[in-house]
Amino acid sequence: MTVLEGRGLTRRFGGLVAVDRVDIQVHQGEILGLFGPNGADKTTLFNLLAGAILPSEGHVYLEGREVTHLPAHRRAQLGLARTFQIVQPFRSLTALENVLVALARDSYRRLLPLGKLGTPERRAKAMALLEQVGIADFANRNVSQVPLGVLKRLEVARALALEPKVLLLDEPLAGLTFKEAEEVLAVVTALRGRIAVVLVEHHVRLALLVCDRAMVLDRGAVIAEGGPEAVRSDPRVIQVYLGEEDATA
Amino acid sequence: MYVVTIFQLLLIYGLLTLSLNLVVGLAGQVNLGHAAFFGVGAYVGGTLLKAGSPFLLALAAGGVAATALGLVLGAVSLRLRGDYLAIATIAFNFAVVAAFLYTPYFGGAYGLSGIPRGMAPGTYLLALLATFALAVFIHERVRNSESGYAFVALRDSEAAAEAIGLSVARFKLVAFALSTALAGVAGVFYAAYIGTLRPEDFGFPLSVTLMAMLVVGGIGGLWGPILGAFLLGGFAQAFAFVHDYQAVLYGLLLALVMRYRPQGILGRTS
Amino acid sequence: MDLFTLTALLGDGLAVGSIYALTALGLTLVYGLLRVLHVAHAGVYAVGAYAGWWAFRGTGSFVLALGTSAVVAALVGLFLEAWFYRPLQSRPPHVALIGSIGLFLAVGDLLRILFGPYQQSLPALAPTPVVGMLTTPQLFVVAATAVLLLGVYLLVEQTRLGLGWRAMAQDAQTAAALEVDLPLMSRLAFLAASLLAGLAGVLVGAYYNQVYPTMGAVLAYKGLAIVVLGGLGNLWGTVAAALLLGLLESLAVAYLGNRFPPEGVAFVALILVLLFRPQGLFSRARR
């Protein structure tokens, strides 16, 4: 079942075509990797799917429903969650509070919700999420004093708090030590079969380990698509990454 | 008796700083034009009081008028960020004062005078105290609720707030609406208190003063804004004996507090 | 339009605009580098004016007046940079803004306490007509500004310092990584800005033959309008906006007379720009 779909997605910035008539389908329970030597087209496609920017042409469907012109917060309410490449925690709050805010999404449909944020039920759910990503120890720590690896996993926990149908991860491994990257990958792998995940990554080799399927972009267009092995050994992919150190990273 | 009069003025300042805190402290938006909403409430409420309307009606009208204008500024805040928003709020303040100045109905440059209190002095004090208590209650209720955390979230990261389903635009508007409603109410009390309104009373210098009160007292929490209001509001009275040096002392106070304790007296180091 | 009216408008407009340009340039330079609205800049301007007045009163030499104002203003600016702005760089923007406003208020009042609330005269430039209605003061102000702006241009475009400034304004982190000395850039920017402001203060004092404690106030507000009009951080846009404003105000006085205060021009322009083109009239659209 297709959870998230982009059809004919195109995005131009002035004269530059960042995304060029891309079709993409994400199926229930799979982990789809999005790769490419150039940063701009992956990020733009990601942001088109997430609702951070609008396409010049094309459509986005979430569970069959057209969301092309819906703003990011509406897509979040409909089950699309995303993380950020440069982490965006709520710095005034603790890790637990970060997740609690995401859990209150039903209340946030109201104009001025005055209920208590940290209800026992929400706290239990929040702790469970923090445990799921392995950062329960940091629950009551203010996030401005917490290492990057923890913040990256917090982003995932916060996104999962939305009970999303699809989770978009924007370079979750960027800036992490090897050990931290392993921890994040473990979290992602555990999601397989439960929700759909789209993973944009620069660290191709690492990411391919967890993907069920991969798509490679070059200059805004899809040049390869398929299982990880097939994509990795695809001559076009190799050629496009030649000279890019990340291909051997 | 004199003390009571000053105390009432300080309560009004307290209402203003608490209202400003909702937008600046919690939601993290800049507002250097808050005096405009105070003024709108004062003029609208004052006009009604002069026409003999009951105090409650004037209060409601002042609050509603200020809120309507507050939503306009809120809409502006959706399009402009940071320093541009700061400058826009300043321009907004000037525009509102100009409106008072050039509207004959509001008395133009002579302003509005002869505004009756609308009730006995004792009742007025009680009403003001009750309103202040209500404002504190609302402030705290909002701050510690889901909405309060929503404001903090959008202050810390608008992108992330959107990504978890918060309508940033809507919450910004709500913040401005609440804040300006309260300021408008304070304005009506002020009109009854002072009896005469002049346009320049609600200009940018007052907005700066309000912002200064907030920042010196400590933004974000409850007691910071109240302390700031009482401290700087009472400043002129307390420092009446150095009347000649008031401005330089005041300016120095602002500069020194910002330099050496930027979180304010009761603020937490973030 | 006859020669007299034209020269009157041009002369006054360009002269006033030049003063605006000299002050606003410093404001936008500081903003571009430190992302802070240096409201106290108008205070530096007033201090420069008084320093120049004091020097002129003592020596009768206008050149000395200019020199003194430049030096004093530069020192004040450097002090503010080191003591106030740089330590507060990591703080939220409202901290520096409120403190700056406090400094501005304090400086203005300090000048009043030291020198009295009344105007002082600075009769350094006799208002003799040159061509039509153009007077010597106007020519002097415009010429002086042109020279100073040329100096700034050379500094910004042709020297390593200017390169450092431009790098820091575009991307401070990368500039630091490339070993641009950010604190030094910041100090020199304040030096240059304050120098210009001080000179502007003396020029205004001589042009209108009056120096008074609150002379910075109007410039504080207009300065904000001008830097937004020109584009926050856009040096030459700001200069253009300043000259434009000077000319528009001249036109307003000439054609609208008492019906519309010339101060309103800056204000109306600011509102229009914020509504329709917040990035400024002269910025390559970056929004």
Residues C168-195 have a mean pLDDT of: 87
Confidence grade of residue C52 (pLDDT, cut at 50, 70, 90): very high
Confidence grade of residue C1 (pLDDT, cut at 50, 70, 90): low
Level-2 CATH architecture, domain A1-79+164-249: 3-Layer(aba) Sandwich (3.40)
Conformation bin of residue A19: beta by default, left when phi > 0, alpha when psi is -120 to 50: beta
Q: Which residue of B has its CA nearest to A103?
A: B164
Pick the closest to residue C130 from C273, C215, C10 (CA basis): C10
- What ranges do the domains of chain B cover? 2-201
What's the gap in Å between the CA of B113 and the closest CA on chain A?
38
Q: Which domain holds residue C100?
A: 3-276
Phi, psi of B125 (to 5 degrees): -60, -45
CB A234 within 8 A of CB A216: yes
Q: Write down the ipTM of this complex.
A: 0.89
pLDDT, chain B, mean:
91
Annotate chain B with DSSP letters as a single string.
-HHHHHHHHHHHHHHHHHHHHIIIIIS----S-THHHHHHHHHHHHHHHHTT--HHHHHHHHHHHHHHHHHHHHHHHHH--HHHHHHHHHHHHHHHHHHHHH-GGGTGGG-B-----SS-HHHHHHHHHHHHHHHHHHHHHHHTBHHHHHHHHHHH-HHHHHHTT--HHHHHHHHHHHHHHHHHHHHHHHHHHHS-B-GGGGSHHHHHHHHHHHHHH-SSSSHHHHHHHHHHHTHHHHGGGGGGGHHHHHHHHHHHHHHH-TT-SSPPP-
Model pLDDT, residue A214: 93
Residue C24 maps to a domain: yes
Interchain CB distance below 8 Å, C102 and B253? yes
Residues A1-25 have a mean pLDDT of: 91
Interchain CB distance below 8 Å, A88 and B166? no
What's the gap in Å between the CA of C284 and the closest CA on chain B?
17
Best mutation target, B23, B73, B83, to test chain C (most C CBs within 10 A)? B83
Structural domain total, chain C: 1
The answer to whether residue B64 scores a pLDDT higher than 50 is yes
Report pLDDT digits (tens) over A145-189.
Answer: 899 889 999 999 999 999 999 999 999 988 888 888 888 889 899
Output the domain CATH number for residue C109. Answer: 1.10.3470
Confidence grade of residue C121 (pLDDT, cut at 50, 70, 90): confident
The answer to whether residue B240 scores a pLDDT higher than 80 is no
- What ranges do the domains of chain A cover? 1-79+164-249, 90-163
Residue C283 maps to a domain: no
Model pLDDT, residue A193: 86
In angstroms, rounded to a whole number, what is the distance separating the alpha carbons of residues B197 and A162?
51
Residues B114-137 have a mean pLDDT of: 92
Q: What is the CA radius of gyration of chain A?
A: 18
Those residues of chain B whose CB sits closer than 8 Å to some CB in chain A are: 141-142, 144-150, 152-153, 155-157, 159-168, 170, 174, 178, 270
Residues B24-47 have a mean pLDDT of: 92
Pick the closest to residue B156 from B32, B269, B68, B29 (CA basis): B29
Residue C285 maps to a domain: no
Those residues of chain C whose CB sits closer than 8 Å to some CB in chain B are: 31, 35, 37, 83-84, 87-88, 91-110, 112-113, 221, 224, 228, 232, 264, 267, 270-271, 274, 278
pLDDT, chain C, mean:
88
Residues A2-15 have a mean pLDDT of: 91
* pLDDT more than 70, % of chain B: 99
For residue C102, the chain B residues in CB contact (below 8 A) are 212, 250-256, 258
Model pLDDT, residue C93: 83
Task: Output the pTM of the full model.
Answer: 0.87
Residues B3-16 have a mean pLDDT of: 93
CB B197 within 8 A of CB B188: no
Residues A229-236 have a mean pLDDT of: 87
Confidence grade of residue C132 (pLDDT, cut at 50, 70, 90): low
Model pLDDT, residue C287: 39
Exposure of C130 in the CB half-sphere (CA atoms within 13 A): 12
In angstroms, rounded to a whole number, what is the distance separating the alpha carbons of residues C227 and B174?
31
Structure tokens at C183: 């604190």
CB atoms under 10 Å from CB of C150, counted, come to: 10
Interchain CB distance below 8 Å, A101 and B170? no
Model pLDDT, residue B81: 81
Model pLDDT, residue B217: 92
Question: Chains near C, with 3+ CB pairs < 8 A?
Answer: B
CA B145 vs CA A114, A140, B138, B139, C196: distances in Å = 5, 18, 10, 10, 51
Report pLDDT digits (tens) over B214-229.
Answer: 989 998 889 999 999 9
For residue A122, the chain B residues in CB contact (below 8 A) are none
